[in-house]
Amino acid sequence: MRTLEQERAEFAWQKVQRQSDEYRNLVKSLPAMIMTNGLMQTLAFLQGKGKDHHRDLVNHIVEWLSKREMVEKGSDFKRVMEKLYGSSFQEYQRATEEVLAILRWLRQLVDATIGKS
C-alpha cells in the first residue's frame, strides 16, 4: 500500500512533465497567493488569466481535489467553486491544506524537470 505522499509525488511528477518556465514560476508563487488571498480567490485568478500555464495549473488542482474525493469525480472549475463556497469551514480548510500539499510536490518536481533559470 502506498502512502499519500507517494500518491502526491506520482501525481505531481506526471503533471510537471513538459511544462514551461511560466508554469514553474506560477507554481512557485501560488502557495503565497493562497495564503494571502485564499483558495477560491486564487483559483478564480488562475481561471481568469486563461493562458496555457494558468489553465494547466488550475486543471491540475481540480483534478487532485477530485482524486482526493473533495469534489465530485470529473468536476470542472465551476463545480469546484460551487463545492468550495458551499462547504463548511473545516471542509474548506481541508481542501486548502490539500492544495498546499500538492503544490509542495509540484514546486519540488518542476525544478527537476524544467531546471533552474
Classify residue 14: in a domain, yes or no.
Answer: no
Question: Could you tell me the pTM of the whole model?
Answer: 0.92
* Structure confidence at residue 115 as a pLDDT band (50, 70, 90): low
d(CA 84, CA 40): 7
Domain residues for the domain of 107 are: 20-111
d(CA 25, CA 31): 11
Classify residue 10: in a domain, yes or no.
Answer: no
Count of the separate structural domains present in the chain: 1
Looking up residue 78, the CATH number of its domain turns out to be 1.10.520.30
Render pLDDT for 51-95 as a digit per residue (tens, 0 to 9): 999 999 999 999 999 999 999 888 899 999 999 999 999 999 999
Classify residue 116: in a domain, yes or no.
Answer: no
